[in-house]
Chains A and B, each alone.
Chain A
Amino acid sequence: QKEVEQDPGPLSVPEGAIVSLNCTYSNSAFQYFMWYRQYSRKGPELLMYTYSSGNKEDGRFTAQVDKSSKYISLFIRDSQPSDSATYLCAMSASNYQLIWGAGTKLIIKP
């Protein structure tokens, strides 16, 4: 079993829809949770970073962490075609070594 599980998709939704992306994990020592976005033929870029449990909002993006269920989510409101990309979750314990999910490919249809 992988430490971090992420559905590879693709996930295809119409423009304007609310998107929900998720990851599950098995290591209870993880305390830092990140979402990176990767456009085709580009390197990943950090979208959001959350410490421990709770929610964090940044514009159209909301990150949620449920440590009791070992489950994290990224919500995108009012999705745009420019949001089409692969979304990677990454997690870390106190050693700051990132453990990555496989990424979910998201397609926003105009």
Chain B
Amino acid sequence: EAGVAQSPRYKIIEKRQSVAFWCNPISGHATLYWYQQILGQGPKLLIQFQNNGVVDDSQLPKDRFSAERLKGVDSTLKIQPAKLEDSAVYLCASSGSGTSGGSFLEQFFGPGTRLTVL
């Protein structure tokens, strides 16, 4: 079974520029998550999709961040314009191919995109 794919793996941009990250979840997984992980901290949920609908985006800075999941499969996270404090690893995860609670709790993560904003 192929894992969660993310690209690019690394990105360096200047502040005020825009950037986009792409995620392809595990086939059949209905739930997709985008997390921000700052060095030395645990992952912080930015947005959760169930199929192509948004379940939770309460911690997404909507003035600069946007995300979409077209056709309930791939997803894109965009930052525009970027700030210095956006430097972090952006993790995509997927879960929930079953109906039990446990299937939602086991999240499968991609390798992440390491963003540096200069």
In Å, the complex CA distance between A34 and B41 comes to: 16
CB-CB < 8 A to B105: which residues of A? 32, 34, 46, 49, 92, 96, 98
Among B56, B107, B114, the residue within 8 A (CB) of A46 is: B107
- A-contact bits for B7-27, CB 8 A (1 contact / 0 none): 000000000000000000000
Are the C-beta atoms of B106 and A49 separated by less than 8 Å?
Answer: yes
Are the C-beta atoms of A42 and B111 separated by less than 8 Å?
Answer: yes
Are the C-beta atoms of B110 and A43 separated by less than 8 Å?
Answer: yes
Taking CB as reference atom, which chain B residue is nearest A45? B109
In Å, the complex CA distance between A22 and B13 comes to: 37
In Å, the complex CA distance between A34 and B101 comes to: 13
In Å, the complex CA distance between A42 and B107 comes to: 14
> Is B115 an interface residue, CB under 8 A from the partner?
no
- CB neighbors of A among B61-78 (8 A): none
Are the C-beta atoms of B41 and A102 separated by less than 8 Å?
Answer: yes
B6 CB → nearest A CB, Å: 8
CB-CB < 8 A to A42: which residues of B? 109, 111-112
A110 CB → nearest B CB, Å: 25
Among A43, A46, A98, the residue within 8 A (CB) of B4 is: A43
What are 15 residue pairs bridging A and B, where the CB atoms are less than 8 Å apart in the complex?
A: A6-B42, A32-B105, A41-B111, A41-B112, A42-B111, A43-B4, A43-B93, A43-B110, A49-B105, A96-B101, A98-B107, A100-B43, A101-B42, A102-B42, A103-B41
Closest CB pairs A-B (n = 3): A43-B109, A100-B42, A96-B104
